[in-house]
Amino acid sequence: MTGSNSPSAPTPTGTGTEQVEVPYNHRHLLGIQGLVPREITGLLDLADSYVGLSRQVDKKRPLLKGRTLINLFFEPSTRTQASFELAGKRLGADTVNMSVRTSSVTKGETLIDTAVTLNAMRPDILIVRHNSSGAVDLLAQKVDCAVVNAGDGSNEHPTQALLDALTIRRRFGRIEGLTVAICGDVRHSRVARSNIHLLSAMGARIRLIGPPTLLPPSAERLGAEVFTDMREGLKGVDIVMMLRLQSERMEGNYLPSLREFYHLYGLDREKFDYANPGAVIMHPGPMNRGVEIESALADDPEISLIQEQVEMGVAVRMSVLDVLSRRLPNGGPKQ
């Protein structure tokens, strides 16, 4: 264990009743790029205070009472959509889920029309996922409410990076100085991009590991070390962050076969043993068991933080909703 917090001694959690000031100077949350470390730390501190609240029988704190939150998802989602819904409900907002099929209409028309229509219903916060990079920024320019990017194409997924950071911070007591390997389909991953921005801003060392076809062009310019040999790349890392093969974003053949991919880049016990003693495994989900990760490792509570990531997702999204609502017109301080 490289940090101060072991699994048996988790960070003390608040109950969401503490007043946590967050120096956040934006109307929206569109990406991690552009946030400064004290804003990230503020969001994580507030999220930490919501972990305890979600573990109580009464999980509600009606800070967003009277507010309307719309989940607008143009792509499928399980964890992200459910956790934004729960986060909104735990904070007392009226929460509406809209899943939009993009098959029959062009993306541009759908996006702008939908934005203008929803805007007329006067929501306070819009949570948006879209399969095109930049789409959520575009939509944010058309509405009066606060907008949260729940994943845009292969660009950013800021709340995933925040929940990953909270999970890491609670386990290791810090982010600075840790070495994090982000492995697999980095090229198509918005999770990887947001994590690279966040972890490097917070002083972690980042390694990207994958086949050359699945690494982003000019990966070194992202400030990371790049490895195509997984065993080499895992030597001495504290955190192994696995990514899903995102076939929905692949045009053409990136891999000879899934079997070959698992052989070279699938995380199994033998490869994981190259990481530091006390290293942990993370995955944003959904997982392809037997493709990028061996089931037994993913389910090993000693080393897998995957379920904790899901729990932290709700706390982080409560933090984001709380902070953005403070900046809404007539958003005032907490009662």
Minimum Å gap between C-beta 196 and ligand ASP is 14
Task: Answer whether 235's CB lies under 8 Å from 205's CB.
Answer: no
Minimum Å gap between C-beta 152 and ligand ASP is 10
**The tokens 């399969």 sit on which residue?**
131
The nearer residue to ligand ASP, 31 or 42, going by C-beta atoms, is 31
The number of beta carbons lying within 10 Å of the beta carbon of residue 65 is 12
Task: Answer whether 272's CB lies under 8 Å from 240's CB.
Answer: yes
Task: Answer whether 240's CB lies under 8 Å from 281's CB.
Answer: yes
Minimum Å gap between C-beta 255 and ligand ASP is 16
Task: Answer whether 197's CB lies under 8 Å from 160's CB.
Answer: no
| Paired residues of 227 in beta bridges | 209
**Contact letters (x/-) for ligand ASP, 272-291, by CB under 6 A?**
------------xx------
By the rule CB under 6 A, 313 interacts with ligand ASP? no
The nearer residue to ligand ASP, 169 or 190, going by C-beta atoms, is 190
**Contact letters (x/-) for ligand ASP, 138-177, by CB under 6 A?**
-------------x-----x--------------------
Minimum Å gap between C-beta 244 and ligand ASP is 4
Terminal CA-CA length for the chain? 41
By the rule CB under 6 A, 90 interacts with ligand ASP? no
Report how many residues bind ligand ASP under the rule CB under 6 A: 8
Q: Which two tokens stand for residue 109?
A: 């028309």
The nearer residue to ligand ASP, 213 or 246, going by C-beta atoms, is 246
Minimum Å gap between C-beta 328 and ligand ASP is 26
CA distance 53 to 14: 7
329: Cβ contacts below 8 Å, ≥ 6 apart: none
By the rule CB under 6 A, 102 interacts with ligand ASP? no
Task: Answer whether 285's CB lies under 8 Å from 310's CB.
Answer: yes
Minimum Å gap between C-beta 159 and ligand ASP is 10
| Sheet strands side by side (includes 68-73) | 94-99, 68-73, 125-130, 146-152
Minimum Å gap between C-beta 306 and ligand ASP is 12
CA distance 255 to 267: 17
The nearer residue to ligand ASP, 169 or 244, going by C-beta atoms, is 244
By the rule CB under 6 A, 190 interacts with ligand ASP? yes
Tell me the residue type at 184.
Answer: G
**Residue in 145, 191, 206, 324 binding ligand ASP, rule: CB under 6 A:** 191
By the rule CB under 6 A, 216 interacts with ligand ASP? no
The nearer residue to ligand ASP, 75 or 124, going by C-beta atoms, is 75
Minimum Å gap between C-beta 9 and ligand ASP is 29
- Residue 75's nearest CA partner among 146, 163, 150 is 150
By the rule CB under 6 A, 59 interacts with ligand ASP? no
By the rule CB under 6 A, 187 interacts with ligand ASP? no
- How far, in whole angstroms, is CA 115 from its chain's centroid? 23
By the rule CB under 6 A, 211 interacts with ligand ASP? no
**Residue in 207, 244, 271, 317 binding ligand ASP, rule: CB under 6 A:** 244
Supply angle C-alpha 78, 84, 88, rounded to 5: 145
CA distance 156 to 194: 5
* Helix (H) or strand (E) segment spanning residue 107: helix 107-120
Q: Which residues bind ligand ASP (CB under 6 A)?
A: 151, 157, 190-191, 244, 246, 284-285
